[in-house]
């Protein structure tokens, strides 16, 4: 220790940098502890204590990477003073401002990462900025949810503490002792090499530290706990700006097209359009009205049918046993825009791409377009601002004529940045449905609810018996749908209307895998007591992308299906692909394949739910499932790039 003290006194520049490393690593670890506490219920499995310790040690490795990036320039500047043996006040000031500003930013990212992870079961990445075209909306959403303020506390404490500590650490010395040039050069080179090794994260030549380095056990939470959110954010940004990641190249285009045609039993209508096929019918069309309710965060795990013991969804559970109920359905992604896009357009999502925001807005042969072409009025209702996620512009471009957003509601009914409560949304919309029913044509109405999303607002007139606020909101959302259906049942148009309920996505409640299936598993209910008179429950595999073709099958309307969806009442699926921002998953009845953009793949046995990776034991299953996922995403990419998303049916006549 005496030698170390003498060394650090002689080499003041190294002493300062070492102290800054220690301070920053301690604060990063504190944020990691807070995240650990908020997700402690997800820590399970064998060797919990040992794996938890390993996760925290792994965290130090990733924290050192970020510290190295930030402290490299200060080390060089301080070393300059060491070489010239002269205190330079401006250099000292630059070092202080640089260190304080960049670490403050890193701590802000660490603080924001905690609620982000709690919601998405993902460390912070560039997907968080998909909302940044509506910053006012996002900030209102944050500040109107009191629980989010709790995460500012560790950030403020960290910044104040860090400021005081570095103010005592980065102090301009009264004099600088210069040793021999050879000694200074040797020490400088050695310490610089140490910093670069820390930035690289590994001494192995083959590869520096990567996100996959943190994945060391079968517990998905502990695998992500070791990551530093500043690292994951920078890593995802680097991936996003790479040309190769702007256009996916997972598999040869023609091979992908051939595969998808085989998977979906497609007899192509036109060779120029890879998945367009004619859907013929027998008999007259059933021109029923269609009401689709895309329920915010109403995952299958919320329902009693999904194993939830709290009776949060008594109404949904009741009508699930009166109509057609699909219990093995998965969402296109983990964001609301994925859910709206997947349900109405029947397309999957490609990694971080925001398909509602393409410029110009793409047009699809989706629910709005095909039913409008078939003579339907088309309506869309949402609780909040129509500009958020570019939802209003996208729906208008895709043939929804009557769109109701926050701007249409009385100002006093708008309670949060998410707009009006669910039950008000439904009550407000009923006159519009009445007017639509008086026209000499059926109507399609699509709803997007919002209540099971922060900031929570529970109307004072509704008293939930649940304890947790999220459970209260789920209970309220279910009640709101009940009020809507009961009010609709008194309308003349009710007897000729099909109601379809599906979630935009679920929520991460439990997971033994690298992603939470609870986030993707959604109920799908077709309810029409005067049309669907025989209850059936289907355990066949499907997705949001199959909702539209299944509706068309019930309506018995011929059309050109230029989507990735199938009629679940007439066609079975072997696999479904879902998107999870930086990875995709392929699901069948027995297995779950999780594939990352960097090529890592893991195969899980859904029957045992053990969290064990079976990819080495089942290589053929891995290749089969991965080919399905790659082919679907690649064909969508091909259609985007070659303007094959919209098939003009006029060319058929």
Same domain? 536 vs 612: yes
User: What is the number of structural domains in the chain?
Assistant: 2
Same domain? 361 vs 509: yes
Q: Taking 80 as the threshold, does the pLDDT of residue 5 lie above it?
A: no
Beta-bridge mates of residue 521: 330
Same domain? 327 vs 217: no
- Check the CA dihedral 143-148-153-158 and report its sign: negative
Same domain? 349 vs 478: yes
Same domain? 194 vs 310: no
What's the CA gap between 353 and 240, in Å, rounded?
Answer: 10
- Which range marks the domain in which residue 287 is found? 253-652
3-state helix, strand, coil in the chain (%, to 5): 50, 10, 40
Same domain? 516 vs 424: yes
Which stretches of 453-546 are DSSP H helices?
469-488
What pTM was computed for the model?
0.86
Of 185, 216, 241, the one marking the end of a domain is 241
pLDDT digits (tens, 9 = 90+) for 77-88: 988 877 766 777
What's the CA gap between 275 and 346, in Å, rounded?
Answer: 12
What does residue 316 show for φ and ψ, rounded to 5 degrees?
Answer: -60, -40
pLDDT digits (tens, 9 = 90+) for 109-167: 999 899 888 888 888 888 777 655 666 666 666 667 666 677 788 899 999 999 999 99
Same domain? 571 vs 636: yes
- One DSSP character per residue, 49-116 reads HHHHHHHHHHHHHHHHHHHHHHHHHHHHHHHHHHHHT---HHHHHHHHHHHHHHHHHHHHHHHHHHHH
Same domain? 182 vs 276: no
Same domain? 389 vs 297: yes
Residue 434 preceded by cis peptide, ω within 30: no
pLDDT digits (tens, 9 = 90+) for 16-72: 999 999 999 999 999 999 999 999 988 887 789 999 999 999 999 999 999 999 999
Same domain? 581 vs 618: yes
pLDDT digits (tens, 9 = 90+) for 453-493: 989 999 999 999 999 999 999 999 999 999 999 999 999 99
């Amino acid at each position: 220790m005496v030698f170390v003290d003498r060394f650090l006194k002689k080499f003041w520049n190294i002493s300062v940098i070492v102290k800054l490393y220690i301070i920053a690593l301690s604060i990063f670890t504190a944020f990691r502890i807070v995240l650990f506490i908020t997700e402690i219920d997800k820590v399970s499995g064998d060797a919990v204590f040992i794996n938890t310790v390993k996760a925290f040690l792994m965290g130090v490795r990733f924290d050192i990477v970020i510290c190295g990036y930030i402290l490299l320039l200060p080390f060089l500047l301080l070393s300059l003073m060491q070489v010239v043996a002269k205190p330079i006040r401006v250099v000292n000031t630059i070092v202080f401002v640089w260190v304080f500003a960049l670490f403050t930013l890193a701590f802000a990212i660490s603080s924001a990462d905690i609620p982000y992870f709690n919601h998405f079961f993902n460390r912070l990445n560039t997907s968080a900025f998909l909302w940044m075209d509506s910053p006012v909306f996002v900030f209102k959403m944050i500040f109107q949810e009191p629980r989010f303020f709790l995460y500012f506390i560790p950030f403020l404490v960290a910044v104040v503490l860090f400021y005081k500590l570095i103010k005592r650490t980065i102090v301009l010395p009264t004099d600088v002792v210069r040793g021999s040039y050879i000694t200074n050069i040797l020490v400088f080179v050695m310490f610089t090499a140490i910093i670069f090794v820390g930035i690289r994260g590994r001494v192995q030549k083959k590869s520096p530290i990567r996100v996959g380095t943190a994945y060391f056990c079968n517990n998905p939470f502990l695998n992500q706990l070791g990551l530093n959110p500043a690292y994951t954010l920078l890593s995802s940004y680097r991936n996003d700006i790479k040309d190769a990641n702007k256009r996916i190249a997972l598999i040869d285009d023609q091979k992908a097209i051939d595969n998808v045609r085989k998977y979906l039993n497609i007899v192509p209508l036109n060779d120029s359009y890879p998945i367009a096929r004619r859907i013929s019918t027998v008999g007259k069309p059933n021109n029923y009205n269609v009401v689709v309710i895309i329920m915010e965060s109403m995952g299958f795990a919320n329902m009693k049918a999904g194993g939830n013991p709290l009776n949060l969804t008594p109404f949904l559970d009741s009508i699930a046993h009166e109509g057609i109920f699909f219990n093995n359905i998965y969402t296109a992604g983990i964001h609301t825009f994925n859910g709206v896009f997947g349900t109405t357009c029947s397309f999957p999502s490609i990694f971080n791409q925001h398909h509602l925001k393409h410029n110009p807005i793409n047009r699809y042969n989706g629910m709005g377009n095909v039913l409008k072409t078939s003579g339907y009025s088309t309506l869309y209702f949402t609780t909040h601002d129509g500009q958020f996620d570019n939802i209003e512009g996208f729906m208008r471009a895709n043939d929804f004529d009557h769109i109701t957003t926050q701007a249409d509601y009385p100002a006093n009914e708008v309670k949060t940045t998410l707009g009006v409560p669910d039950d008000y949304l439904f009550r407000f919309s009923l006159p519009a449905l009445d007017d639509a029913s008086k026209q000499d044509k059926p109507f399609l109405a699509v709803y997007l609810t919002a209540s099971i999303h922060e900031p929570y607002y529970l109307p004072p007139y509704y008293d939930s018996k649940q304890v947790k606020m999220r459970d209260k909101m789920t209970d309220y959302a279910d009640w709101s749908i009940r009020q809507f259906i009961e009010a609709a049942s008194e309308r003349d148009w009710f007897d000729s209307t099909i109601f379809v309920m599906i979630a935009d996505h679920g929520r991460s409640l439990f997971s033994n895998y690298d992603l939470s299936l609870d986030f993707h598993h959604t109920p799908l209910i077709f309810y029409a007591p005067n049309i669907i008179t025989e209850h059936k429950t289907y355990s066949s595999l499907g997705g949001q992308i199959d909702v539209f073709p299944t509706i068309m099958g019930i309506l018995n309307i011929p059309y050109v299906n230029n989507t990735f969806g199938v009629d679940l009442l007439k066609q079975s699926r072997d696999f479904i692909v879902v998107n999870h921002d930086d990875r995709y998953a392929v699901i069948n009845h027995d297995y779950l394949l999780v594939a990352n953009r960097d090529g890592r793949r893991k195969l899980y046995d859904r029957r045992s739910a053990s969290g064990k990776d079976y990819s080495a034991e089942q290589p053929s299953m891995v290749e089969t499932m991965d080919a399905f996922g790659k082919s679907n995403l690649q064909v969508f990419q091909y259609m985007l790039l070659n303007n094959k998303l919209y098939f003009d049916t006029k060319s058929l006549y």
